[in-house]
Structure 1
Amino acid sequence: MKHLITTAALAVSLVAPAFADTGFTLSSPDIAEGKQLDNTIVLNAFGCEGDSISPALEWSNPPEGTKSFVVTAYDPDAPTGSGWWHWVAFDIPADATALARGAGSEGGEMPAGTVQSRTDFGTAGFGGACPPPGEVHRYQFAVHALGVESLGLDENASAALVGFMTGANSLASARITAVYSR
């Protein structure tokens, strides 16, 4: 029993620093915690009528040792059994502190070296919200500070693979969860 407790304590001590409160924060002039997304961030397909423009995101106080960032937008409520990835961008340089409104949309400008990979729409770049009628879905916009400069992946990487590599290299994350219904 003593060996089991020691092993458990060691496991917690190895994991705990990755989840420590570092003061790392995410903010946006376009989205807010618990608030309804406006139509500029909504998809223009599948019965939804929006502009599908990625929101502006700003982050501050990344942990010491941050070498790159990953930005994601994810709907855990999508009726797929595995949620829906709306945006996956990685290898964002460590000196970046923001993404401009529309940066992840077609024709937008991401920081040099950033890779946008396939979302669940089957293409790279931001795809707006569009839940089934009558349902309220959560949209989790997150920035992850990583301890590596590159995930070693390309634009063909699946969101699940990017998520796995992000989790393996994350120093801290910050999130805004907005909602949308139609």
Structure 2
Amino acid sequence: MTFTVISNDLIDGGTLPDTQVYAGGNRSPHLQWSGAPEGTQSYAVTCFDPDAPTGSGFWHWTVANIPADVTELATGASGHAMPAGSVEGRTDFSPSVYGGAAPPPGHGPHRYIFTVYAVDVPHLDLTPDSSGAFFGFNLHFHALAKTSITCIYENRG
């Protein structure tokens, strides 16, 4: 079985909808995954922009400790309807909720990579104050598999 993610809001390789843009709806997207490998005990989700002019990219969403029996997040779940036990970490916007695309005007197209991780432990020691880099560090050692949807957004401002 192959680990995959689909979305009612996102199309892999497509343009990020205004609903997921910071100045638009600023809502976390619907994500649904299936085919996690044996041994999966929880899930994590991230959204990362590797094209941000920071030298280190930009974290837009970090979520860990999603229970293994949960395989879907509804549109707009961030901050409102996250699964019990899950933790949303600090983004580079600072709050511990989804922050939509907001590239500098005229900077060109940016990639927004929404990744779901199958994790080999039920709980990672992460808090709402944990940074994206700390999430990534922990996921590096505990991810059994990952699957992504990448969307493009450009602020032509």
Q: TM-score range by the shorter chain?
A: over 0.9
RMSD: 0.9
2:102 counterpart (130, 141, 149): 130
User: What corresponds to 1:162 in structure 2?
Assistant: 135
User: What corresponds to 1:112 in structure 2?
Assistant: 84
Secondary structure in structure 1 of the residue aligned to 2:52: coil
1:175 is aligned with what amino acid? S
- Percent of aligned positions that are identical: 49
1:19-51 deviation line (CA, Å, top 9, x unaligned) = xxx50001101011111111111002xxxxx11
User: Which runs of structure 2 are paired with 1:36-75 in the superposition (5 Å)?
Assistant: 36-44=15-23, 50-75=24-49
- In structure 2, the gaps of 5 or more residues are none
Moved over 6 A (4+): none
Aligned partners of 2:42, 2:139: CA distance in 1, in Å? 10
- In structure 1, the gaps of 5 or more residues are 1-21, 45-49
Does residue 173 of the first structure (1) align with residue 146 of the second (2)?
A: yes
User: What corresponds to 1:84 in structure 2?
Assistant: 58
- Normalising by structure 1, report the TM-score: 0.83
1:107-127 deviation line (CA, Å, top 9, x unaligned) = x20010000010000110100
1:135-168 deviation line (CA, Å, top 9, x unaligned) = 1000000000000011112111111011100010
Shift of 1:133: 1.8
User: What corresponds to 1:9 in structure 2?
Assistant: none
User: What corresponds to 1:151 in structure 2?
Assistant: 124
- Normalising by structure 2, report the TM-score: 0.96
Aligned partners of 1:51, 1:165: CA distance in 2, in Å? 30
Does residue 121 of the first structure (1) align with residue 56 of the second (2)?
A: no
User: What corresponds to 1:12 in structure 2?
Assistant: none
- Whose radius of gyration is greater, 1 or 2? 1
